[in-house]
Structure 1
């Protein structure tokens, strides 16, 4: 939420979001005098909330709605047990009588705090982001509530109220940011809060944030009968595992018809194909948080095209930029170029004229701005040969990163594929600067693709994990060579698996690389950054990109991201010696080191692993992958106990480690040579490694293997296909070893895409195309 908060005076806030209507012209503000006198102060939250609910409900201002206390029970299918103090609900909603939170029906959520020391917005800070822990906790709490409402409903925006003793603050959330009203004393000025509730209760559904292109399926409707028929098949899939395996798409769709969640008919308007409609249940993937693209993925039952019953429907809020391409157009272009192992685009288009408005109230360049002013700088672009090696302020490029901890200046290094040299420092930066607001305009967008796949995390065994990643790298290579596109968002959620059962009963698998929304044409690498934040998924960014977000993404960065994906899946689902999976997952994938007030750089664990070339914990305990799970009292593993992925990861880590060794000082600076003899490491002077030509040559050869796709593809193919006999079968697949209740005390990181997401946040089931003989593997 940092840099995404704004504040407007109360009157301006109401005028902007809930302006007066004809029906409230005759209401006398004096009629509300003393309305909240019965709300006690200095008491616990429940003692405050009961009389508050009674006061508003008794005022006769809510039309067809009512305030309900919902802190007693969480939503029926809320695995986190999340409850909100209360909210405004339709009168006939069960939440009113059961006091159970209902995220699918709440119109306005209400959170109650004993005093204003819990205020989520701080006017004394430049960004409005509070410093005090209690205030930050409140902001995090209401942000979670808003995120849950957006996940359960089809909304453009949502309203919330925070009571702070006798004070109150109104909030409006959309995908760009949250705009708070100035704080006011609702006991002294009760009409301000009463007016808000009156206007939101009498507003149209669209003004309350409901998306008119999404129709909720109600009991007894024709759509309901269709979905009921599919839901009834759940028993058949449960009783016949072979049916569930053969018809895995139908099984996934039936699983999505969770009766505790709303079912919807969603409309997609395609400029070429017209209006298409789909029935959906619970999303198979929902990105956490409100701010950002808010991607949700659904398995859709096509109403418009009975010949294509199931599709994958992606619903998101794309960032608007004059050079941003629609993902559907990108996919169509890649499909036309013959790029293998990617989804097939069917329909896509913006959803009506729905756009965010929070950014419209940001005044970055003016005095008193509530949003951070980002100063963009770029490295002077250079290009040569076939590789484009220029920077645009989004990602790491050809100049290697120095250690953020040491502050060592970057060395002069040849730019890949150019024969030129660039100095990574102030000398290489352009002097032009411009102010860019971090609140971005977003447009609602939907994309439909033909294939429906399984998330990579559902790989049946370690060999298929490696095979699927190999297929995804082939897709990346194809896009780079045939279409001159760089994906720039490699993550565990963007690699999918298509299983296919043949007549012989054997199942083959194809990996697909999905989610091309953040991809970029190589021709655009010379131009200014489209987005001022990092682009990508934090957990899987290369060390270099996390450390230097202002540089361009190279092939080596993307291949390193594929390696991080492999480690991520292996640590969670394969046998190994790591004793604390939760701590390692956080330290390696989610952690970051603070740099300045609002930025984070790569965490210490990932940096240590990539620089040393050894997979180990932050406490220097090496992690070894095994063929079978070990008991605590087992003998130390022998060579025969090692899993085939152990050798594969060890070899790949050596290649990528060479990149960082060369970047971080393999050549001793001349001014330091006199001290080299006194700096001893591993029993010999520190400088000897870098002065050894043979070692230097070996490092350069390894690094060279990370700069093109073919070496890594060949390694993965050799491991998963040529020596398939060495791999265990499905017995090496374990239940998730990351405990669902693991909650590290982690700091919030700032990034453009998904919040360093929860581990499953990146698991998105997107689509894939049919398996080809060239990219199928027999399990």
Structure 2
């Protein structure tokens, strides 16, 4: 998966620019700047003689420094794979550290088990510099060829962190996600979306405040700025009960809902559907998902499709195609079809549901 992903990486973006671009204080109401970081904050982490001995001091240090990341819990999950959400993977999903929102800390996380469906940020450690897939070019423009190492160890690391993000985006509804790669005393922040990933420049996180500042901004950011797709929400208890009954699902299955306008924009339907199960495929591209859903408004079972399309002028959105078909060839199409597009930034992939 690392070799597949390497052509979709951009960087290294200077970390100050990265934070300004993706977690700008201007986008965070009542933003409070970081004031609590001090040089040597992660000294005990760097004192670890091997990677597996670094997780505990890192978690302890960052959890005790609650002033810069209040509301987030950092859980050591390196030896506790997600065996609930990731059954379709041929390999184990067990990030070294999963970051959860305190209010949404799942039961498995309290037992140090990974729950990729609730993880906010994934942190992966490597202690050998040969495992890093990123480096800063000595000079010249930054291109994929200039900042990505293509050694076997580097590609293994890139494949590993890509697979974790694949699982996270597959188990949640997100427009984007953040992860952290720490290679001994250097850290990179990575922002992933369906177009690719942007990698920050290296951070000397024990001496520089940028990693701490990332979490300080992240915890103050809105769900949308963190990457949550706010068009999808949890279904109510009664909505979930009705949908499970109609769809033949177990009483414990987590249910979500979304409002989807019809193709004429004259109305909408509320669809309730099961939370998705991730599969081991690339996080880049259309990433189509489909499943039966319960149409609460019309008391019927329908097919729910979720996919992404590239927002460029000569690519017609799927919903517009259906409108043309309805007007010219299939006038009864509206009886069974509702489509909406959720726009993101210009020239980025956009989510389409139907």
User: Same-fold call, TM > 0.5?
Assistant: yes
* Selected match of 2:97 from 61, 86, 89: 86
Alignment of 1:317-466 (within 5 A): 317-331=308-322, 333-334=324-325, 337=329, 346-351=337-342, 353-355=343-345, 441-447=348-354
d(CA) in 2 for partners of 1:50 and 1:331? 54
Conserved? CA contact 1:70–1:95, under 8 Å? no
d(CA) in 2 for partners of 1:170 and 1:285? 23
Conserved? CA contact 1:32–1:194, under 8 Å? no
d(CA) in 2 for partners of 1:295 and 1:28? 43
Per-residue deviation, 1:117: 2.2
Alignment of 1:31-50 (within 5 A): 31-41=37-47, 43-50=49-56
Cα 1:154–1:284 change in 2 (3 A) is: closer
Is the partner of 1:154 in helix, strand or coil? coil
Q: 1:254 matched to which residue of 2?
A: 248
d(CA) in 1 for partners of 2:277 and 2:58? 38
Per-residue deviation, 1:269: 2.8
Q: 1:217 matched to which residue of 2?
A: 235
Is residue 10 of structure 1 aligned with residue 7 of structure 2? no
Task: List per-residue Cα deviations over 1:31-82 (Å, max 9, x = no partner).
Answer: 4332201103563322111100111100013222211111232222422332
Q: 1:161 matched to which residue of 2?
A: 180
* Selected match of 2:73 from 50, 56, 66: 66
Cα 1:85–1:186 change in 2 (3 A) is: same
Length-normalised TM-score, structure 2:
0.84
Q: Which runs of 5+ in 2 are unaligned?
A: none
Cα 1:100–1:217 change in 2 (3 A) is: farther
Task: List per-residue Cα deviations over 1:249-296 (Å, max 9, x = no partner).
Answer: xxxx335x584x642102213452323210000448968221111211
* Selected match of 1:268 from 256, 260, 273: 260
Per-residue deviation, 1:164: 0.5
* Selected match of 1:300 from 293, 305, 309: 293
Q: 1:113 matched to which residue of 2?
A: 126
d(CA) in 2 for partners of 1:290 and 1:28? 36
Q: 2:216 matched to which residue of 1?
A: 198
d(CA) in 2 for partners of 1:85 and 1:193? 17
Is the partner of 1:207 in helix, strand or coil? helix
Is the partner of 1:280 in helix, strand or coil? strand
Q: 1:499 matched to which residue of 2?
A: none
Conserved? CA contact 1:262–1:281, under 8 Å? yes
Task: List per-residue Cα deviations over 1:306-331 (Å, max 9, x = no partner).
Answer: 2xx11111111101221222223334
Cα 1:285–1:208 change in 2 (3 A) is: closer
Conserved? CA contact 1:68–1:96, under 8 Å? yes
Cα 1:27–1:319 change in 2 (3 A) is: closer
Q: 1:748 matched to which residue of 2?
A: none
Q: Which runs of 5+ in 1 are unaligned?
A: 231-252, 358-439, 448-779
Aligned residues: 331
Conserved? CA contact 1:332–1:345, under 8 Å? no
d(CA) in 2 for partners of 1:24 and 1:332? 44
Cα 1:22–1:37 change in 2 (3 A) is: farther
Provide the alpha-carbon RMSD of the alignment: 2.7
d(CA) in 1 for partners of 2:305 and 2:75? 33
Cα 1:95–1:44 change in 2 (3 A) is: farther
Q: 2:171 matched to which residue of 1?
A: 152
Conserved? CA contact 1:120–1:139, under 8 Å? yes
d(CA) in 2 for partners of 1:199 and 1:25? 8
d(CA) in 2 for partners of 1:254 and 1:43? 52
Conserved? CA contact 1:41–1:165, under 8 Å? no
Alignment of 1:119-130 (within 5 A): 119-124=132-137, 126-127=143-144, 128-130=147-149
Q: 1:634 matched to which residue of 2?
A: none
* Selected match of 1:53 from 59, 84, 102: 59
d(CA) in 1 for partners of 2:213 and 2:153? 29
Cα 1:95–1:284 change in 2 (3 A) is: closer
Cα 1:166–1:310 change in 2 (3 A) is: same
Cα 1:137–1:229 change in 2 (3 A) is: same
Task: List per-residue Cα deviations over 1:440-497 (Å, max 9, x = no partner).
Answer: 62111112xxxxxxxxxxxxxxxxxxxxxxxxxxxxxxxxxxxxxxxxxxxxxxxxxx
Conserved? CA contact 1:70–1:99, under 8 Å? yes
Higher relative contact order (CA 8 A, sep 6+): 2
